[in-house]
Amino acid sequence: MKVAEEIYSISRLTRVIRNLIEGSIPNIWVEGEISNYTLNRSGHRYFTLKDSGAQISCTMWRTRRAPGFEFENGLKIRAYGRVTVWEQGGRYQLDVQSVLPAGLGPLQAAYEALKAKLNHEGLFDQERKRPLPKFPNAIGIATSSTGAAIRDLVWGFKTRFQPVELYLIPVKVQGEGAAEEIVRAIEIFNQSKLVDVIVVGRGGGSLEDLWAFNEEVVIRAIAASGLPVVSAVGHEVDVTLSDLAADVRAPTPTAAANLIVPDGEDIKQSLRDKSIRFSRTLDRMVSMWRERVHGLANSYGMKRVIGRVNDERLRIDDISEKLETALIRKVTERKRSFEAIRNQLTALSPNSVLDRGFCVARQKEGTIVKSAIQITIGDKLNLLFKRGSALAAVEEIHKNER
């Protein structure tokens, strides 16, 4: 029967490791390049020492002797201290007791040299930088598809401004080939014409981790972009050359959304405020014009105009009555004249002759017989009476000279 192997807790294992490390490594001098330097309000210094192959976290408590020079990222120093284990964080670190300057590290030296070169060419000039559109429709993002940066960007954009569309081109953000992938993503976004702004970025890290965003090809691609570029690389203390070349620098990926798109709630509130101000302004204008019209209506000049209008109304009424009277008189005269003419016509009408017992004689072809000389014995005449007619034959003719 086998004896069960002893099982360690994490805390016990970490203490064993701590005892092994701290008990076997004496105080030593370490030379490296400062990165991620932070001076806490308490006076404690936190930084990373690194070389081309590795890095180690360092702490320098405020009770230690102050260095005779300013700490800054990229400065190469020699630190004296002891290796300790931080049990809660599960990592080893160097407890620095004193430091000496050793000059700039190779990475920082390369950074400063390239920065000076590109700055001389004008790639960092403020005059060449373009403002971002106020209401972009689509944003292009070049970053890792699995890092925290893309989660922060998506959350920031969707929280602030829902209508914006996001297009992601996944790229490596550190290591071999990262710079080329970032450059290609910038070129694709420019060629596609799908987006209004490009964001390039990643989370924080050491100078080595962020080096892809200090590569010359990346800086030139950002400067040559036809679209505005926002650099969102690392934390606020990390400044890359991409930050200097970009049109806008966001200190973190989360802050990029705040710089690129407006806050939807702020827009709604602004519209509500403007609507209220417009309504109040309109009310004041209506009230002002109402008072002006009221004052004008009660003014001496307007009263004179109203009196003049009333006088003209009376004059028009008087003219209308006169025209009506004249028209009635004229119509009456015309009616009388018409009656006189009608009576004359009636008197001259053949019907009036027939009413008195006469008749009209017509020859066969319809000619009215006015004289005896028009007819001969045997002619047939059509006699028209007031009522009815008769056909008569001529038997005698008596010609009267009168």
Evaluate if residue 402 carries a pLDDT over 80. Answer: no
Q: What percent of the chain has pLDDT above 70?
A: 91
Rounded mean pLDDT of 310-329? 84
The pLDDT assigned to 60 comes to 94
The pLDDT assigned to 183 comes to 95
> 139-196 pLDDT, tens per residue?
999 999 888 888 888 888 888 866 788 999 999 999 899 999 999 999 999 999 899 9
Evaluate if residue 237 carries a pLDDT over 70. Answer: no
**8 A C-beta contact, residue 305 and residue 312:** no
Evaluate if residue 57 carries a pLDDT over 50. Answer: yes
Evaluate if residue 3 carries a pLDDT over 70. Answer: no
Q: Where are the domains of the chain?
A: 10-104, 110-125+136-262, 352-393
CATH architecture designation of domain 110-125+136-262: 3-Layer(aba) Sandwich (3.40)
Query: To the nearest whole number, what is the mean pLDDT of the chain?
Result: 84
Encoded amino acid at 146, one letter: T
Evaluate if residue 4 carries a pLDDT over 60. Answer: no
Topology of the domain comprising 10-104 = OB fold (Dihydrolipoamide Acetyltransferase, E2P) (2.40.50)
Q: Considering only 59-63, 64-68, 79-83, which range has the smallest mean pLDDT? A: 64-68
Angle at 231 between CA 225 and CA 235, to 5 degrees: 170
Confidence of residue 1 (pLDDT cuts 50, 70, 90): very low
**Contacts for 213 with CB less than 8 Å, ≥ 6 apart:** 173, 182, 200, 202, 231, 233, 240, 241, 242, 243
Rounded mean pLDDT of 61-75? 84
Encoded amino acid at 169, one letter: I
Name the more confident of 70 and 343: 70
Pairing status of strand 28-39 against strand 45-50 = antiparallel
Rounded mean pLDDT of 24-33? 89
Q: What percent of the chain has pLDDT above 90?
A: 28
Evaluate if residue 331 carries a pLDDT over 90. Answer: no
Domains 10-104 and 110-125+136-262 share a fold: no
Q: Considering only 56-60, 82-86, 209-213, 363-367, which range has the smallest mean pLDDT? A: 363-367
> 91-148 pLDDT, tens per residue?
899 999 988 877 666 777 788 888 889 998 999 999 999 999 888 899 999 999 888 8
**8 A C-beta contact, residue 227 and residue 196:** yes
The pLDDT assigned to 389 comes to 81
Rounded mean pLDDT of 299-305? 72
Q: Specify the DSSP element, H or E, that contains 312.
A: helix 300-348
- Convert 262-291 to b/e letters by CB count within 10 Å (16 or more is b): eeeeeeeeeeeeeeeeeeeeeeeeeeeeee
